[in-house]
Amino acid sequence: MIKLLQVSKCFNQGRINEFKALRDISIEISTEEVTVIKGPSGSGKTTLLTIIGCMTRPTSGRVWVKGQETTSLPERFASEVRRSLFGFIFQQYNLIKGISAIENIMIPSYPAGVKRAVIVKRAESLLEELDINAKAREKVEHLSGGEQQRVAIARAMINDPSIIIADEPTAHLDTDQSSVLLSIFGRLKEQGKTIIIASHDPLVINSEWVESTIALRDGRITEGGHQS
Amino acid sequence: MCIQRSRTTLSPLTIFPRDHSLFLREVFGDSQMGWIERQRGYLDFTLASLARRKGKNISLISVYALIVFLVSSLVFLTNSLLREAEALLEAAPDMVVQRTVGGRHELLPVSYIEKIKAIRGIKEVLPRLWGYYYHPASRSNYTIMVPADFSLGEDEVQVGEGVNRTWVGSEEGRFYFKAADGSSVVLKIAGTLPAATELVSSDLILLGEAAFRKISGVPEGFANDLAVTLGNKAESLVIAEKIVLALPDARPILREEILRTYVAVFDWRGGVALILLSGAVIAFLIFAWDRAAGLSSEERLEIGILKGVGWDTSEVLTMKLWEGTVVSLTAFVIGVIGAYLHVFFASGTIFERALKGWAILYPEFTLAPEISLYHLVALLLMTVGPYTLVTVIPAWKASIADPDSIMRQG
């Protein structure tokens, strides 16, 4: 269970450009389910995902992940939680240019002190499963959008996390590529992963794998979740 | 709006095992090897990272290696010259006694020998005849000296390599000198001093006593100074005091003092050269600081991504530390090897004019290849340490924020 209680997030607090991205959000997300957070651009979807995934701290409110409060975790432990529990698929993929697909995939495993042979084997298996093993040694900037997306998924999966967070995963994909991506999410769900997707793409929102939906607008929940 | 629903048929996956404990055991089980594997991972990533900015890093390493090369050459050369001087001074007398009048070095009556010999602890006292001879045609000042064991004829000389190279106007192996009384003295070259002694013998002309007195005008019964050999070198200070008491115008100079003078001369010359070089060093530091301090938006985004996928600040810093170490250590090794070859196999061509010889007489000799560990470690700390720090500090400043903020700013 992932639980947020009265979470607010304010950027540039106290400055002239102060912006409230989230306002008193209280939600519960069940594990081993696919949850979609929908809403128009600027509604706070990405901010909500980053708070759930310990990538940033809320300005106020509390967050629990699998019973452990993560709101005030020291940076070192927050990193540990990110590494072991979460797999992130960023909207812009956020792959590191100039290095190969397989090297990108292996990055999250380095701090874990895993034997290189184990990481390589694991990365190769992921590449094969995602059908991009032929592109393993190619630099990521030479891959198509769909291939880059799959490299980003493989990177998110390398440490075998139990929660997958995907931010607008179909934003840069055509319909066919989006369908392939959704099928991958479906397979992950079958393996018991908790999947949280931020999207305003109807293809994602209406996917048969989606079990719950939370709608956001102007930083407030307008549908689903629990608004306090 | 037409909404297409995903209808892909899925097969159970083996790659995402439901029970991932097996993988985690494999991943985290061997904690003793974990640290090494982590460092290997960071290093792998660092090398890949450096390789993708190949042009930029090669130019940085080249400039860096050049600075290390120049500083190392200077340190090696100064140090080796001092060692060379030390080795040659082993044969020098324990003490030299001069006479001073009005603070200036004056000729000394040989009658002083008996007075000094009377002091207990003195083994031997020998008069020394030496001076300088300016040869207008060569526009050089040479050192002329009568060795204690001079075995050549009175019309013969033995000269240093530098004299052979620079003396203008010798005919059929004969040197023409103008004596103190205005007459000419012709001396025949009977031999050349060994090249190994060139640091101190480059400008040296060894000749007989009669020829010396004629050329220099030093009268009979006088010497330039006295070479004193002691029974016990530990008593040198006490004996020097006794000599000054017995002969108030005498000035004893200990061998250690001569060595200190050499150290001061070479250190001073090395210091001057280092000051001239410091401009280049400072320019490089500014360049390195600018490169390291101003992280590009790409580099900041990269740090944000690393943190986003689970690296913490210390892990990002470790990676940056590796990056700084790889760059600076590579430059250090290239620079030091280059300096070693330059100093010990090419006679330190760049700095020899500044450090070796005097006037226009530059000794040409090959220094014995030898590097002190102290200097090597000092160079390592002076070059690798600062660069690594200027690489890590901006990375630390960038990575202390949460990953979301870094990526938004990047």
Q: Which two tokens stand for residue A72?
A: 């005030």
The highest-confidence range among A166-175, B260-269, B351-360, by mean pLDDT, is A166-175
pLDDT digits (tens, 9 = 90+) for A104-163: 999 999 988 888 889 999 999 999 988 899 999 999 999 998 899 999 999 999 999 999
Higher pLDDT, A138 or B170: A138
Size of interface A-B (CB pairs under 8 A): 178
> Above 90 in pLDDT, residue A164?
yes
Q: How many secondary structure helices (H) and strands (E) does chain B include?
A: 14, 12
Return the residue in B15, B23, B298, B405 with the most chain A beta carbons within 10 A, the one to mutate for interface testing: B15
Give the closest residue to A152 by CA, choosing from A195, A98, A200, A91. Answer: A91
Contacts of A110 in chain B (CB under 8 A): 38, 41-42, 44-45, 311, 315
Contacts of B406 in chain A (CB under 8 A): none
Sheet holding A19-29, edge to edge: A19-29, A2-11, A60-65, A68-69
Closest CA–CA distance from residue B284 to any residue of chain A (Å): 27
The highest-confidence range among B89-103, B255-269, B309-323, by mean pLDDT, is B309-323
Q: What is the DSSP string of A37-55?
A: EE--TTSSHHHHHHHHTTS
Q: Is B134 helix (H, G, I), strand (E, B) or coil?
A: strand
C-alpha separations of A154 from A130, A157, A160, B15, B26 in Å: 8, 5, 10, 11, 19
> Above 60 in pLDDT, residue B362?
no
Q: What is the mean pLDDT of residues B305-323?
A: 90
Around Cβ B136, how many Cβ atoms within 10 Å? Answer: 9
Which pLDDT score is estimated for A77? Answer: 87
Contacts of A188 in chain B (CB under 8 A): 16
> Above 80 in pLDDT, residue B58?
yes
- Give ipTM to 2 decimals: 0.90
Closest CA–CA distance from residue B72 to any residue of chain A (Å): 35
Around Cβ A150, how many Cβ atoms within 10 Å? Answer: 27
Closest CA–CA distance from residue B318 to any residue of chain A (Å): 10
Half-sphere exposure of A78 (CA within 13 A, CB side): 25
Contacts of B308 in chain A (CB under 8 A): 55, 82, 88, 90, 94
> Above 60 in pLDDT, residue B13?
no
Which pLDDT score is estimated for A125? Answer: 92
pLDDT band of residue B271 (cuts 50, 70, 90) is low
Closest CA–CA distance from residue B274 to any residue of chain A (Å): 40
User: CA B136 to CA B308: how far, in whole Å?
Assistant: 79
Q: What is the mean pLDDT of residues B106-111?
A: 92
B402/A109 CB distance under 8 A? no
Nearest-by-Cβ selection for A207 from B5, B41, B307: B5
Which pLDDT score is estimated for A198? Answer: 94
Q: Which two tokens stand for residue B404?
A: 């979301």
pLDDT band of residue B201 (cuts 50, 70, 90) is confident
User: CA B98 to CA B108: how far, in whole Å?
Assistant: 7
> Above 80 in pLDDT, residue B11?
no
Chain B, window 3-42: residues with a beta carbon less than 8 angstroms from a chain A beta carbon: 3-8, 10-13, 15-18, 20, 23-24, 26-28, 30-31, 33-38, 40-42
User: CA B275 to CA B264: how far, in whole Å?
Assistant: 16
Percent of chain A with pLDDT over 70: 98
Q: Which of B150-164, B265-279, B293-307 shows the lowest mean pLDDT across its residues?
A: B265-279
List B185's β-bridge partners, or say none. Answer: B177
A107/B52 CB distance under 8 A? no
Q: Which residues contact B124 (CB under 8 A, 6 or more apart)?
A: B228, B229
How far does CA A56 lie from the centroid of its chain? Answer: 13
pLDDT band of residue A220 (cuts 50, 70, 90) is very high
